[in-house]
Amino acid sequence: MKMVMAVIKPHKLDDVREALTGVGVAGLTAGEVKGFGRQRGHTEIYRGAEYTVSFVPKVKIEVVVADNQIEAAVEAIQKSAQSGQIGDGKIFVYDIASAVRIRTGETGDSAL
């Protein structure tokens, strides 16, 4: 089992969700985060005073998938979240030690 974590542009969330369910991923968790990489922040001006806002709003999604789904999931995210502009984000893959479905107590791949 692996967790595929991706930081993406917020407006791409719906596209990524569709792409993931399209390859058979059953669920995902999404949260609003802020970050920066090569995308610099921006400057806002209020009453003539400049405010530098270094962080850019992003969305972080996490999906835990069985080993045989990892490639499909990563590809689905990368294709659907891509816009070609700086700031598209990154995908990371973690090892997952175990998983449990809370309602039933199932473990392993059947918990996913």
Partner 1 sequence: MLRARTIGLGIGALTLFTAAPAMAAEINSGDTAWIIVATALVLFMTLPGLALFYAGLVRAGSVLSVIMQCVMIACIASVLWMVVGYSLAFGDSVGGWIGGLDKMFFEGVGTDSVNGTIPEIVFAMFQMTFAIITPALIVGAYPERMKFSAILVFSAAWLLLVYAPVAHWVWGGGWMAAMGVRDFAGGIVVHATAGVSALMLAKMLGPRKDFPNHLRPPHNPGMTATGAAMLWVGWFGFNGGSQLAADGGAGMAIAVTHISAATAAITWSVIEWVKFGKPSLVGAVTGVIAGLATITPASGFVGPIGALIIGAAAGVICFYLVGLVKNRFKIDDSLDVFAVHGVGGILGTLLLAPLAAVSLGGGGQADGVSMMDQLGVQALCVAIVIVWSLAVSYVIIKVTQGLFGLRVDPEDENTGLDLPSHGERGYEL
Q: What's the min distance (Å) between Cβ of 30 and partner 1?
A: 16
Q: Which is nearer to partner 1, 46 or 102 (CB)?
A: 46
Cβ–Cβ < 8 Å for 108, 98: yes
Examine residue 44 and tell whether it contacts partner 1 (CB under 8 A): yes
Q: Rule CB under 8 A: say whether 47 interacts with partner 1.
A: yes
CA neighbor of 8 nearest in space, from 71, 76, 109, 66? 76
In the list 31, 48, 84, 105, the residue contacting partner 1 (rule: CB under 8 A) is 48
DSSP 44-57: EEETTEEEEE--EE
Q: Is 31 in the site for partner 1 (CB under 8 A)?
A: no
